[in-house]
Amino acid sequence: MTHPSSGEALAKSSSGGIGWLLEQRVLLSIAVLALLPWLLPSQALAVNVLIYGVVVMGYNLLFGYTGLLSFGQAAFFGAGAYFTGIAIGRFGVPWFAAVPIAVLLSTCLAAAIGLVSTRTRGIYFSMVTLALAQLVYYVALQAASFTGGENGLRGFTVDRISLFGLQVNFLDPVNKYYVLMAFAALAMWFQSRILNSPFGAVIEAIRENEQRARACGYDVERSKLIVFMLSGAISSLGGCMLALHLSIVPLDILHYQTSGMIVMMVLLGGARSFFGPFVGAASFLILEDVISLWTPHWQIFVGAIFVLFVLFLPKGIWGTPLDMLGIGKARP
Amino acid sequence: MSGELLRAEGIGKRFGGFVALEGITVSFAAGQLTSIIGPNGAGKSTFFNILSGALTPTSGKLHFRGRELNGLPQHRFVHQGISRSYQITNIFPDLSVHENVRVAAQALTVSYDIWRNRARLAELHARADAALEAVGLLSKRNELAKFLSHGQQRALEIAIALVSEPELLLLDEPTAGMGPEETKDMVALLERLADRRTVLLVEHKMKMVLGLSKRVVVLHHGRLLADGAPDEIRSNPEVRRVYLGQSEGYG
């Protein structure tokens, strides 16, 4: 009996334009992000899309790919920002060391929250993540000598960056954008590797059918903890980028409203798609910008649009056309 | 007994005040197909769930290849060489047919690898395709599992269990909900499997069970009622009373 060997079958099913494009998703995404400052009305908006895009991308690993609805992702976004600011401002750590330190510490925080929350399921998981993230918020509020309390964290500024002997003026918005884009590119490359890896298949199996995944021999609890930590690590990198960008860390980013915004962004853009988080972040921030010009109650309108999306376009702005084209459905 | 693969010693299971199983002592030799039958509520599914680690027995011991399995978490059972299929189709609906089986194959080797590209792990792809070919689903490999027919999903269910190369394959009513044509295909598949593997089968279709099995174990009200070759079971008056009489029209 002859049938195509699996290598050939793989090559066949991923040949043609779509398969090739899928393989280049990181490079394509970087290319789009590189053009973003010229596509959007303002540089400031472009930087925010970059930052929130990375945060939401990390969250997508947890929510979109593993199916775990957390309401506490702001904890890691905030932790990344606070740890970066504290490392630079209080301990005089250079920025390039502050970022990996902050990501590492935030991943430890994710391990702690994950250990407790991944033992629960469904709505309980959502509630436990919400509660623990609020705990982080109140710790930041109370530990004012470290975090600046309600006023947010101030007193650290990154104005010049030396890259391989080259001095870059970090106050220039274009320079800033491209330095931060390098972080986003790193995050995208990492996320893409995770999704392509055997572990990426495990989390999808858990999303599809937890009981069967366990019967197949997977330690479901351990896998959930690992993905919770990876997700927290990527989102915390977005926090580091925010701290470098603003030179302050507002307390608000730890609030549950930020977690809610992250959930809305991923659903607007399209959970389970690679570039969807950036589309979602951009759409949300543009909506906020445009609608808040003529009414202070912009959240009512964004909320209404969000409800329409959940009802009629559950795969989001980016995920829906991908789905119609049949991309990303059956990965061989 | 030589060639003994699995031994259950005094297995009992209670759910609160309800006794689902009591004092089941039975052992299974390597390399034959044994069926477990019994009327609804006899404890067949509970027994299967215990053998596959989904439930922990309240009393008794389970030995597999001389190793005690008690206390082992469910996901380790596959690693020991026990794999199962489910009575109610239990697959990964939004993954491709091939990926359903491939992800099961990878559980024994590279679960937590976040670095390598899984598309390049050719051996796993080949094993998945081999399992799909064994159940006759290779031509459907790129379709989403949720779009398969019921009978094909039942076959996929078996491919998922089969791909880990288990020493003991537990099949929970593989023909549940199937029409006559699909059942015929499934019986042919089971016959092929029984040639090479140790299979435990829970089934309702009596003629099919008696035709397929080397040995039949009968459960009734959570106890072992009879154990023997199909002919002995067929002529056992106790079994006829509780079970066979009422289902002669089946199969």
Domain residue ranges of chain A, discontinuous segments joined by +: 42-255
d(CA A125, CA B173): 34
pTM over 0.80: yes
Decide the pairing of beta strands B198-202 and B33-37. Answer: parallel
Q: Looking at the structure, do residues B179 and B251 belong to the same domain, yes or no?
A: yes
- The per-residue pLDDT for A13 is 43
pLDDT, tens only, B211-225: 889 999 999 999 999
Residues of chain A in contact with residue B114, where contact means CB-CB under 8 angstroms, are: 193-194, 197, 199-200, 226, 230
Q: What percent of chain B has pLDDT over 90?
A: 60
pLDDT value at residue A128:
97
pLDDT at residue B140 in the model: 95
Look over chain A and give the mean of its residue pLDDT values, rounded to a whole number.
Answer: 89
Interface size between A and B, measured as CB pairs under 8 A: 137
Spatial separation of the C-alpha atoms in residues B170 and B123, rounded to whole Å: 25
**A17 CB contacts (<8 Å, ≥6 apart)?**
none
Domain presence at residue B192? no
pLDDT at residue A76, rounded to an integer: 98
- The 10s digit of each residue's pLDDT in B27-37 is 998 988 999 99
Query: Cβ contact (<8 Å) for A330 and B142?
Result: yes
Please write the tens of the pLDDT for every residue from B174-209.
Answer: 988 888 888 888 899 999 888 888 999 998 777 888
The DSSP secondary-structure symbol of B3 reads T
Quick one: B214 and B243 in the same domain? Answer: yes
What's residue B245's pLDDT?
58
Mutate to test the interface with B, among A119, A212, A221, A225 (most CBs of B within 10 A): A212
Do the beta carbons of residue A140 and residue A254 sit within 8 Å? Answer: yes
Residue B191 lies in a domain: no
Mean per-residue pLDDT for A5-34? 65
Residue of B nearest to A226 (CA): B112
Chain B within 8 Å of A209 (Cβ-Cβ)?
yes
Total tally of structural domains belonging to chain B: 2
Q: What is the mean pLDDT of residues A190-215?
A: 95
Query: pLDDT at residue A8 above 90?
Result: no
Residue B144 in contact with partner chain A when CB distance is under 8 A:
yes
Same domain, yes or no: B1 and B73: yes
B93 and B161 assigned to the same domain: yes
For residues A237 and A80, the answer to whether their CB atoms sit within 8 Å is yes
Q: Would you call A223 an interface residue with chain B, using a CB distance cutoff of 8 Å?
A: yes
Least confident interval from A167-176, B46-55, B165-174, B214-223? A167-176
Model pLDDT for residues A83-137, shown as the tens digit of each residue = 999 999 999 999 889 999 999 999 999 999 999 999 999 999 999 999 999 999 9
Full domain range(s) for residue B6: 1-81+168-185+197-251
Q: Which pLDDT belongs to residue B250?
A: 43
pLDDT at A12 over 50: no
Mean pLDDT on B1-8 = 78
Give pLDDT tens digits for A253-275: 999 999 999 999 999 999 999 99
pLDDT(A10) > 60 = no
- Whether residue A169 has pLDDT greater than 90: no
Whether B190 is covered by a domain: the verdict is no
Q: Which residue has the higher pLDDT, A259 or A39?
A: A259
Mean pLDDT across B49-69: 93
Give the tokens for residue B173.
């009513």
Out of B76, B118, B160, closest to residue A197 by CB: B118
Check: CB of residue B101 under 8 Å from CB of residue B131.
yes
In this prediction, residue B244 carries a pLDDT of 59
Give yes or no for residue A165 having a pLDDT over 80.
no
Average pLDDT over residues A275-299: 91
B127 & B58 share domain: no
Query: CB-based contact (8 Å) between B121 and chain A?
Result: yes
- Residue A105 has a pLDDT of 98
Distance CA A269, CA A9 (A): 32
Residue A172's pLDDT is what? 86
Answer yes or no: is B156 within a domain. yes
Asked if B102 and B33 sit in the same domain, the reply is no
Q: DSSP alpha helices (H): ranges in B52-179? A: 74-80, 97-106, 122-134, 150-162
B150 and chain A: CB distance < 8 Å anywhere?
A: no
| Amino acid A19: pLDDT | 66
Residue B249 has pLDDT above 80, yes or no: no
